[in-house]
Each structure stands twice: as structure tokens, then as C-alpha cells.
A = this chain, B = another copy of it.
Amino acid sequence: MSTSVRIVGNYLSPYVRKVLVCLHLKGIAYEIDPIVPFMGDDRFSALSPLRRIPVLIDDRVTLTDSSVICQYLEDRWPEPALYPRDVADRAWARWLEEFADTRMGDVFIWRLFNQLVIRPFVWGEPTDDAVVQKTLAEDVPAVLDYLEGQAPADGFFFGALSIADVAVAVFFRNAGWARFKIDAARWPRIAGLVDRTLRSDGFQAVRPFEDTSMRTPPTEQRAALLALGAPLTKDSFGTTIPRRGVMSV
């Protein structure tokens, strides 16, 4: 693969993870500029009009939005296919991806991970326990009930691993860092599907870089990731000055 693909975005973002896993599954080489969430510089705004990560830059296009990027990867490098062949299944896979991106993003990132990790460790603000309790008591079970009704007893949503499994599973890495685990007695199908997906090659390939990013202060992340062999870009669109407004989508 001679095309150079560059990803701008941090290993802790579920949307960056979705794209990285797709790149691994398709065997596409890439470099990553792991800018810290909330810390893109002004050149980054020009790159990403809504200040979102991930951004994909290659010889043809500079793209944001993880769903648009993954579909582009599929269109340009069709094999192995990550979208079902059947048109109705393919539509349903995209719907599950959309459900994950919006509803799971809202519940697992903006409420759980934001309250338990980002607020205390990035902004130095207290966790709102009432939000966390309500999220765990109401929103998380509603999401898991829906997914349980969609998941098969074995394998993946559409037989082979697809974008739908990847899009759902990415959130359980962040949920895990917030110490949340699916109750496999209550939701056995989705617990099994997520477990199988997280154990697949693509997720395993990025896992050490994610864990290192999670426990390393922003200013030391590049050095720590480089020492671990992460495929980092030489230059960066990032700064270490926190600023609100880089969205992960």
C-alpha cells in the first residue's frame, strides 16, 4: 500500500478508534497525529470546519466525520468488505452505526466518560454524581436493551465482523476506563458480541496505545507513544493548551 494515509485524532476518542480499527482490518498503512482532545491549534480549524476529530488526510481528500471516513475507506479499498453486501443489511448496519455514534456517544461519552474522566482529569471539575447515577440507572440499560434485541446469540450483527460491530464496541473501551462493564447475565448477547469484537485483531492492535494515552499526561503522550512504537506523524496540528471545542464525532 503506497498511499500515505494520515489520521489526526487521539487514541482515546471512540470515533478515532472506529477509523483506526477499519484501517487495520483493511490492512491500510497510516500515520497518526494524536492531538489531545480539546487541543487542536488554529491550523486544525482550517482542516476540520466543525473542529472534529478524527480527520483523514490522504492523496485524494481531507475528510472529517468518522462515518464518512469509514465509508470512504470501504469505497476506495473494498476488500475485505466491512459493510454487508445485501442492501437492506447494509442500510441496517449504517443505522446501527448511527445509533452508536449519536445515542451511545451521548450516554457513554458525554455523560459517563465526561463525568467520570474528562471533567475531573482534564478540566479539574467535580463529577456530577446525580448525572452518573441517572445514566447508569436509565440510559445505559435502555441502550443495552435495544442492542440486546439486535445482537445474535453468536458471531456478529451480520455474520462476519462489520462496521456495525466496530461502531458499537468502540464505546466499551471508554466505558471500561470509567469502570463500567456490561452485566453478561442481564445482556448476554451484546456482552458476547462486544467481547468478541474487542478481542479482534484491529482492536488489539491499537489497545496498548490507548491504554498508554489514558495514563499519560497530555504533554508526555507523544514521547510515550513513540517509545511504544505507535506510527506517529512527525509534525502535529495539536497544541498542549487546552481549549474547548474539539469535538470527537
Contacts and interface: CB of A to CB of B under 8 A. Distances in A.
A180 interface: no
B94 A64 contact: no
A63 B87 contact: no
A102 interface: yes
**The 6 A-B residue pairs with the shortest CB-CB distance in the complex, in nearest-first order:** A72-B91, A60-B88, A61-B88, A75-B87, A68-B94, A65-B98
Q: What is the copy number of this chain in the assembly?
A: 2
A140 to B, nearest CB: 15
B60 A87 contact: yes
Nearest to A92: B61
Interface string A28-49: 0000000000000000000001
15 contacts: A49-B103, A49-B146, A60-B87, A63-B95, A64-B95, A65-B94, A65-B95, A65-B98, A68-B94, A71-B91, A71-B94, A72-B87, A72-B88, A72-B90, A76-B87
A223 to B, nearest CB: 33
A171 B67 CA distance: 22
A62 B75 CA distance: 25
A167 to B, nearest CB: 12
Nearest to A249: B102
Interface in A80-99: 87-88, 90-92, 94-95, 98-99
Interface in A126-152: 146
Q: Is the interface of A mostly helix, strand, loop or mixed?
A: helix
A95 B60 CA distance: 14
A49 B87 contact: no
A204 to B, nearest CB: 28
A160 interface: no
A122 to B, nearest CB: 24
**Which of A64, A94, A99 gathers most chain B CB within 10 Å?**
A94
**Which of A91, A92, A99, A102 gathers most chain B CB within 10 Å?**
A91
Contacts of A49: 99, 103, 146
